[in-house]
């Protein structure tokens, strides 16, 4: 599994060289609910900061750093941190976007896991500041059983 991190790092370092527009920084808060196999389980809230670059007018590549904050207040770094490489389809003439997300859970441990998901969102941008809200589905948990989470996320986006 370690060999999968090398292409992600190379991609992240090479994106600024291929970018045609400015740098994008997002900060967001997400909350989710498990839908399978145990429907109704409310998940801990998560905070994510993502940096990205516009590749062309309708696509941008981003790398997000997400951390869950347990409701109990006891922060355990195992299982609470994810690196999320993302590809976003964001047509400028439409108020919505589509996001493909790859979640690298516990990236610095031997129990690393790579999952995938996607979301649809709505955004509003004025000058270089935007607000967005999205609903997505992502796998969570570990081991042999995959738990699917529907996550709502909202935040702000800044373009430099």
Residue 12 CA to residue 128 CA, distance in Å, equals 23
Structural domains counted in the chain? 1
pLDDT tens sequence across 61-71 = 999 999 887 77
Q: Which domain holds residue 140?
A: 2-159
List the CATH number of the domain containing 107: 2.40.160.20
Predicted TM-score (pTM) of this structure: 0.80
Burial of 130 (0-12, 13-18, 19+ CB in 10 A): middle
Q: Report pLDDT digits (tens) over 98-149.
A: 999 998 888 888 878 888 999 999 999 888 899 999 999 987 765 677 788 8
């Amino acid at each position: 599994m370690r060999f999968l991190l090398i292409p992600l790092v190379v991609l992240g370092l090479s994106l600024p060289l291929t970018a045609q527009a400015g740098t994008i920084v997002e900060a967001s808060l997400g909350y989710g609910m498990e839908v399978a196999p145990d429907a109704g389980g409310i998940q801990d809230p998560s905070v994510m900061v993502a940096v990205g670059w516009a590749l062309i007018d309708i696509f941008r590549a981003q790398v997000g750093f997400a951390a869950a904050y347990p409701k109990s207040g006891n922060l355990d770094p195992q299982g609470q941190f994810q690196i999320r490489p993302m590809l976003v389809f964001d047509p400028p003439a439409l108020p919505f976007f589509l996001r493909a997300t790859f979640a690298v859970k516990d990236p610095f441990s031997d129990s690393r896991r790579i999952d995938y998901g996607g979301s649809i969102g709505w955004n509003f941008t004025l000058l270089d500041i935007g607000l967005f809200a999205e609903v997505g589905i992502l796998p969570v948990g570990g081991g042999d059983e995959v738990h699917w989470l529907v996550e709502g996320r909202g935040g702000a986006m800044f373009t430099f």
